[in-house]
Structure 1
Amino acid sequence: MEEDFEELRTVIRTFPVIDNHAHNLLVPAELESEPFESITTEARGWALEDTHTSLSHIRAAKQLRELYGCDRDADWASVLKKRAEWLQQRPEELIRKCLEGTYSILMDDGLGGIATKCHPYEWHDKFTTNHCKRIVRIETLAEDIMESALKEATEEMISEKFLAGIWVIFTKAFEEAIQDAIHDPTVAGFKSVVCYRTGLDVQHDYEECLMRVGKSFERYASKCIMKGEYRIKSKSVNDFVVVKTLELLSTTAHPGETSKPLQFHTGLGDNDIDLDRANPAYLQPLIEVYTNVPFVILHSAYPYTREAGYLATVFKHVYLDVGEVFPMVSRDGQTSIVRQSLELAPYSKLLWSTDGHFFPETYWLANKQFREILESVLLEYIHNDDLSITQAIELTKAILFENSNRLYRLNFFPPGRRSSAVSLPSRPLMSALSAQAPPFPAPGTSKSLYDPTVLSAFVRGRGTKFVYVQWYDYMGTMRTRIFPIAEFSRIIRNGSRIGMSRGNAGTLQNDHTTPAVSTTGAINVEPDLRSLRPTIANDPLAPSATVMAYWRDEEGRPAVEDPRNGLELLLERLKDEYKTRLLIGFEVEVTFLRRNPENLQSPYLPLTTNHAWGTLTPDQYTNALPLLAEITEALSSVGITIQQFHSESGLGQYEFALPPLDPLVAIDTLMQTRQIIARVAESKGLRATLHPSPFSGIGTAAHAHISLNPIGPLPAIPEKIETGFWAGVLNHLEAICGFTLPELESYKRVVDDGWTGGTWICWGTQNRETPLRKITNGRWEVRCIDGCANMYLAISAIIGAGLIGLKKGFGHAFLGRDCEYNPARMTEDQRREYGIERRMPASLEAALFALENDQELSNVLAQNVAENYVSMKREEQRMLSGMSEAGRRIWLIERY
């Protein structure tokens, strides 16, 4: 029995948490801008003077001694002094200590003006087990849109006609911004602070709300112009923002499913809140109307916890967040709140949050105190036989992790359980406001990615001087144009695009022309601001940024040639037709070379030679490890997380594992990762190459881990979806290889007994001698892929083939049996028994021939993409065939 109690205590004290509501930390320079005493109170100004005599402050001050390593009898001044030492000498260590045990944070980063003093939400990823997600604060979003819409307005412009036009612009932009956020995988949900503005008694009838808002909006807009104040204080306008959001969430939810949640600040707040109208009971009419939108009642609704518990009990789509009162309330108050939360509400409806903000200590105190209170309450329930130990353990895991994981459809891997899906961190590529649509959409696009507020939020505090606008061509070459920040800002502000000749889409790596070149027409390059990243510190143009781009035609429509847009369209089909989305985690295999100019026949030497897979020899420790660490830190500095790195089998060869991300984000991140690896290596006088076979016997791949995940309430992808998708891939694998293995040298890896995927078309669970390795249900690895591929085209071909399999209803007969053996060591009869009858292409020409003749796959891709690609690859091979073997090798190493 005592062992069971110890297990319960261990779970309560150590089980990882999904923090379902918190805020950004302040940057070091701004730590003094907010009073530290505010960590235990909502009081402000002179009211803070009495905080030191509150039980919540006295208790927190004692606990902070433990955090900082102070003496037990240290007074507040000594605690502050010790804290200052931590911040000066070990700031990130303090943050890591404070966020220990935090699996992920759902972060409300819509803090208005103070957001500029805070770290962007993705910065916090370095301290959590998995990636953080955004909670979009709708009032801040509305105010930012209004500010952008009225940026150039003057008092003289105020007229009924002008204000009516502003209303159209505002409502259109707000709707597009919410729609974008609904479909943005980095956004977990939404939040309203209408409680602070005009109270929770929101007009629940949408038509009535529209009728009331007109004159109020005109007064609000006039005040914005005259005073430059954009905070929405009008009840009718605030109600409209809330109800419009609910309408959009409700109407975009799939039938029978719920939308992304909407969080509401309730109860406890600072002195500008109307405490009477902070009671969540006011929300009941809204809750009854919008039954497919999950309502999350924040902050324990204190002092209205019982009212919130009632709502969470009687309405399926209402949840109670047990947060903020830790550490704002005394121990007795916290105990009462936890009890009241459990009086009526099922524990499956309770969520945990810290409401951590500004100071890392707020996270630490909240988690510490909540675990203490939860333990004392549960032990008493067990003693009174209200709960068993097993039920108490399940309750703890549910509140800390599983309820949020389910409600926000995060699909994170539950600690201590096996899962059928890869964890679902969908990593952001930029700072706050990334999901917002622009107030003035760029012409010709239904979903513009031009948003001046996004750019200004990114640039603010960074001093960005230049922007690299980048796109990937068919041959896997990164093309770039560089803009001074003033010109780039003008392009975004005006909705302009960057023109290039259509012929540039059909040239080779050295601008050699091909039959795919068109001499007429233009392509317009459109930056995707979601992919903005700062460059690394030693970039020649730093402080600068990179951004990936789409291709548009002369009318502003997506260009059919664009591999990036083509991939996005296929992902939309998969989502819409089969309620399935993918995550992809790439392995970046790279060989580091020293240049050896004295030997023209062999001008490269591997960085390390005393080398094997997973080793750390003295050679590697001295020559490679500092480089690998510097690369990893450089990647981290721009928000790219590396899960691990290690040596591969080839001399000088190493692998960096990227986390699973949504496909477009994953490929953008892969491209940016490769650039940084190459640039750090080059700064050391080294060449980092993705060449498929830089030395004899070395095979360099770019394996892609792909997981299929359900959109909706299902816990795992249905077997028929998984089977149909991968059967389609297997049935078109020869043609797919034309994209995934795009060089003659790529086929040096298509060998048996080399752990490179083998020569037979088949699949096997954890079988590295098959081109498709199943890792677990829902998650597979594509092994027949390397770093020379245009990854947008390669993944498009895989998804396109999967869609064919799904459309045709391919089942196990088309997928074949799970191969447990090395196909090369099986007899012909054994292979036939497993459905293994086809071989991988043995050359690039064989793969191109298969692609050229696979009309089914070509048709599922964008128009003429396969035809133009094959034409360009053949021209490339004719050009390379005129080189000596050594010359060809040098040419490829210097480009890949």
Structure 2
Amino acid sequence: MIPDTETILQQDVQLTRILWTDNAGLTRAKAVTRPSLPGALLRGVGLSMGQQALAMMVDSVVPESGLSAVGEVRIVPDPASYVTLPYAPGSAAMVSDMRTLDGKAWAHCPRDFLRRQVEAARQLGFTVMASFENEFYLFKDGEPLDSSVYGALEGFSASNAFALDVLAALDAHGLSPEMYYPESGPGQQEISIAPAEGIVAADCQVLFKMAVNGVARQHGLRASFAAKPVRDGAGSGCHIHLSLWRDGVNTFYDPSDDLGLSLTARQSIAGVLTHLPGLCALTVPSVNSYRRLLPGWWAGSYACWGLDNREASVRVASGHLLSGAGGGSTNFELKTCDASANPYLALGGLLACVLDGLKRELDPGAPLDKPPGDLTDAERAERRIQRLPESLPEALATCEQDDVLQAALGPDLARSFTAVRRAEAAYFATQNEDTELHMHRFVY
């Protein structure tokens, strides 16, 4: 990333994409030419307010959003996010903030929503570190790239050239890829990247998806980040890893605890579990999300937590317990998330839940050491383990009743987001499964 404006202007780039991510979770862009770039860096680029009221099916403003074709904001690029695009020679990109004409943050701006939550954490003395861990499918000529399963060598062979190029692109974007392997579904892949601080973590998710899609196109492939792009294949998640730091120390770690978890970590987890039914509206926000969010599919369909429990919605990985690990890697993973989510809304909502857990000193209860689906209804009730929403309308209704999430979003963003996603739910209620799968497959 090149944060210096003067250096940006010296790059041999003809088109610079100014990126924003809308309430349907779609990242869009306007590209400015080289002569126009100085003005765009200074004043941003005009954008109709109605752009934040578009559902994923069609570019038509959802009236219930409170937005319309009237009114304009500026998408103001963040120079610190500047990257050149090795998969699109002559092009570069920056993420942006949505500003009103007088330069103030627009109430409907998802990136500013996350900024407010990061600042709230800072006020409590915490630095937010997070990463998004993506699963996605590769298609060739409309069919999955291969028929391999998790970690299969066939999968490595089929996608080797793509994998090498996408890892190089991610590295060029400063995303520090850590691990790659074929996942359980046909043509399904997983790539993890290093955590980043605050808003940058969500910026990295935007750049990650753009890089994967761009490199896939170079190889004659299509990438799909949809939660359930094929009927019989495994779903694709986008797990969020989170930790809170203070003065360079991971506050989630406590070597005296059996699980190596501090009270801060436990209260954070408790906040997430308390609000997770409503948070689902932000983290699993598409109609297609709920084809993945099923017991037995490692998707986190119950509100519970556990050490290395991949059926729990909140998983604590055991890496920090290894000899010599030191505790710096201590984090929790929210599995109840997929890449149809706007990353600024998903991470911002997650932080709002965490901060509520800390402020109210909530207790997550004992960790679960078995799949929650293996418990009886009575056992789940005794441990206060609830099934998470089973549809998008249910998640949206629950979110509307969650005072913490509504206050964090603010009335304007809460209204436009809910209206867009509710319009999607209403549309797909009239469509068959094939149409839903087809329409989600390459939109996300």
Which letter maps to 1:841?
A: P
In the TM superposition, 1:872-891 aligns within 5 A as 872-891=420-439
Q: Of 118, 123, 137, which residue of structure 2 is paired with 1:571?
A: 118
* 1:861, distance to aligned residue in structure 2 (A): 2.2
1:654 corresponds to: 189
2:303 corresponds to: 761
Contact 1:852 1:867 (C-alpha < 8 Å) held by counterparts:
no
3-state DSSP of counterpart to 2:306:
strand
Contact 2:252 2:265 (C-alpha < 8 Å) held by counterparts:
no
2:384 corresponds to: 836
3-state DSSP of counterpart to 1:624:
helix
Contact 2:306 2:367 (C-alpha < 8 Å) held by counterparts:
yes
Q: Of 663, 669, 673, which residue of structure 1 is paired with 2:198?
A: 663
After superposition, give the CA deviation of every residue in 1:55-77 in whole Å (9 maximum; x if it has no partner): xxxxxxxxxxxxxxxxxxxxxxx
How far apart, CA to CA, are the structure 1 residues paired with 2:159 and 2:353? Answer: 40
1:338 corresponds to: none
Contact 2:173 2:207 (C-alpha < 8 Å) held by counterparts:
no
* 1:714, distance to aligned residue in structure 2 (A): 7.9
* 1:736, distance to aligned residue in structure 2 (A): 0.4
After superposition, give the CA deviation of every residue in 1:724-759 in whole Å (9 maximum; x if it has no partner): 2221111010000011111222112222222222x3
Aligned pair in 2 of structure 1 residues 708, 844: CA closer, same or farther (>3 Å)? same
* 1:766, distance to aligned residue in structure 2 (A): 0.9
3-state DSSP of counterpart to 1:550:
strand
Contact 2:252 2:331 (C-alpha < 8 Å) held by counterparts:
no
Which letter maps to 2:346?
A: A
1:314 corresponds to: none
Q: Of 779, 782, 801, which residue of structure 1 is paired with 2:331?
A: 779
Q: Of 719, 724, 734, which residue of structure 1 is paired with 2:277?
A: 734
Matched, 1:491 2:36: no
Q: Of 692, 699, 702, which residue of structure 1 is paired with 2:227?
A: 692
In the TM superposition, 1:637-652 aligns within 5 A as 637-652=172-187
Aligned pair in 2 of structure 1 residues 659, 468: CA closer, same or farther (>3 Å)? same
* 1:468, distance to aligned residue in structure 2 (A): 0.7
Which letter maps to 1:755?
A: W
Which letter maps to 1:731?
A: T
Matched, 1:723 2:269: no
Contact 1:475 1:790 (C-alpha < 8 Å) held by counterparts:
yes
* 1:684, distance to aligned residue in structure 2 (A): 2.5
* 1:573, distance to aligned residue in structure 2 (A): 0.8
Which letter maps to 1:474?
A: N
Matched, 1:521 2:71: yes
Contact 1:858 1:865 (C-alpha < 8 Å) held by counterparts:
no
After superposition, give the CA deviation of every residue in 1:611-653 in whole Å (9 maximum; x if it has no partner): 1211212xx3442112211221233334332111001001100
After superposition, give the CA deviation of every residue in 1:654-687 in whole Å (9 maximum; x if it has no partner): 1111111113112111211211111221222221
Matched, 1:553 2:88: no
Contact 2:43 2:74 (C-alpha < 8 Å) held by counterparts:
no
Q: Of 289, 294, 302, which residue of structure 2 is paired with 1:746?
A: 289
Contact 2:303 2:385 (C-alpha < 8 Å) held by counterparts:
yes
How far apart, CA to CA, are the structure 2 residues paired with 1:700 and 1:714? Answer: 29
Contact 1:848 1:870 (C-alpha < 8 Å) held by counterparts:
yes
Contact 2:175 2:194 (C-alpha < 8 Å) held by counterparts:
no
Contact 1:728 1:801 (C-alpha < 8 Å) held by counterparts:
yes
How far apart, CA to CA, are the structure 2 residues paired with 1:575 and 1:800? Answer: 13
Contact 2:352 2:404 (C-alpha < 8 Å) held by counterparts:
no
1:893 corresponds to: 441
Matched, 1:474 2:23: yes
Root mean square deviation of aligned Cα: 2.0
More helix per residue = 1
* 1:829, distance to aligned residue in structure 2 (A): 4.5
Which letter maps to 2:384?
A: I
Aligned pair in 2 of structure 1 residues 615, 858: CA closer, same or farther (>3 Å)? same
How far apart, CA to CA, are the structure 2 residues paired with 1:545 and 1:807? Answer: 42
How far apart, CA to CA, are the structure 2 residues paired with 1:740 and 1:787? Answer: 8
How far apart, CA to CA, are the structure 2 residues paired with 1:714 and 1:530? Answer: 25
Q: What percent identity do the matched residue pairs reach?
A: 25
How far apart, CA to CA, are the structure 2 residues paired with 1:549 and 1:708? Answer: 25
Stretches of structure 2 lacking an aligned partner (at least 5 in a row): 255-261, 321-326
More strand per residue = 2
Which letter maps to 2:93?
A: T
Matched, 1:580 2:115: no
Contact 1:564 1:664 (C-alpha < 8 Å) held by counterparts:
yes
In the TM superposition, 1:162-561 aligns within 5 A as 429-430=1-2, 434=3, 454-460=4-10, 462-492=11-41, 495-509=42-56, 510-514=58-62, 515-516=64-65, 517-536=67-86, 538-539=87-88, 542-561=89-108
After superposition, give the CA deviation of every residue in 1:425-470 in whole Å (9 maximum; x if it has no partner): xxxx32xxx3xxxxxxxxxxxxxxxxxxx2222343x412221111
Q: Of 820, 823, 827, which residue of structure 1 is paired with 2:372?
A: 823
How far apart, CA to CA, are the structure 1 residues paired with 2:250 and 2:271? Answer: 23
How far apart, CA to CA, are the structure 1 residues paired with 2:298 and 2:102? Answer: 49
Which letter maps to 2:205?
A: L
Contact 2:287 2:424 (C-alpha < 8 Å) held by counterparts:
no
Matched, 1:849 2:387: no
3-state DSSP of counterpart to 2:411:
coil
Contact 2:229 2:438 (C-alpha < 8 Å) held by counterparts:
no
3-state DSSP of counterpart to 2:46:
strand
Q: Of 358, 366, 389, which residue of structure 2 is paired with 1:806?
A: 358
How far apart, CA to CA, are the structure 2 residues paired with 1:888 and 1:639? Answer: 35
Q: Of 631, 635, 647, which residue of structure 1 is paired with 2:166?
A: 631
How far apart, CA to CA, are the structure 2 residues paired with 1:633 and 1:829? Answer: 51
* 1:863, distance to aligned residue in structure 2 (A): 3.3
Matched, 1:770 2:312: yes
Which letter maps to 2:76?
A: E
Give the TM-score normalised by structure 2.
0.90
3-state DSSP of counterpart to 2:288:
helix
Contact 1:709 1:717 (C-alpha < 8 Å) held by counterparts:
no
How far apart, CA to CA, are the structure 2 residues paired with 1:585 and 1:505? Answer: 25
Aligned pair in 2 of structure 1 residues 592, 560: CA closer, same or farther (>3 Å)? same
How far apart, CA to CA, are the structure 2 residues paired with 1:621 and 1:809? Answer: 46
Query: Rg larger in 1 or in 2?
Result: 1
Aligned pair in 2 of structure 1 residues 684, 713: CA closer, same or farther (>3 Å)? closer
Aligned pair in 2 of structure 1 residues 713, 735: CA closer, same or farther (>3 Å)? closer
Higher relative contact order (CA 8 A, sep 6+): 2
1:709 corresponds to: 245
Matched, 1:614 2:151: yes
3-state DSSP of counterpart to 1:499:
strand
* 1:856, distance to aligned residue in structure 2 (A): 2.8
1:789 corresponds to: 341
How far apart, CA to CA, are the structure 1 residues paired with 2:393 and 2:360? Answer: 28
Higher mean alpha-carbon deviation, 548-557 vs 835-844, is at 835-844
* 1:882, distance to aligned residue in structure 2 (A): 3.9
After superposition, give the CA deviation of every residue in 1:77-114 in whole Å (9 maximum; x if it has no partner): xxxxxxxxxxxxxxxxxxxxxxxxxxxxxxxxxxxxxx
Which letter maps to 2:149?
A: A
3-state DSSP of counterpart to 2:177:
coil
1:395 corresponds to: none
* 1:488, distance to aligned residue in structure 2 (A): 0.9
Query: Post-superposition, which runs of at least 4 consecutive aligned residues in structure 1 deviate over 4 A?
Result: 712-718
3-state DSSP of counterpart to 2:162:
helix
How far apart, CA to CA, are the structure 2 residues paired with 1:552 and 1:888? Answer: 34
3-state DSSP of counterpart to 1:643:
strand
After superposition, give the CA deviation of every residue in 1:394-445 in whole Å (9 maximum; x if it has no partner): xxxxxxxxxxxxxxxxxxxxxxxxxxxxxxxxxxx32xxx3xxxxxxxxxxx
Aligned pair in 2 of structure 1 residues 751, 638: CA closer, same or farther (>3 Å)? closer
Contact 1:563 1:793 (C-alpha < 8 Å) held by counterparts:
yes
Give the TM-score normalised by structure 1.
0.46
How far apart, CA to CA, are the structure 1 residues paired with 2:368 and 2:202? Answer: 30
* 1:710, distance to aligned residue in structure 2 (A): 2.0
How far apart, CA to CA, are the structure 2 residues paired with 1:766 and 1:471? Answer: 35
Contact 2:25 2:341 (C-alpha < 8 Å) held by counterparts:
yes
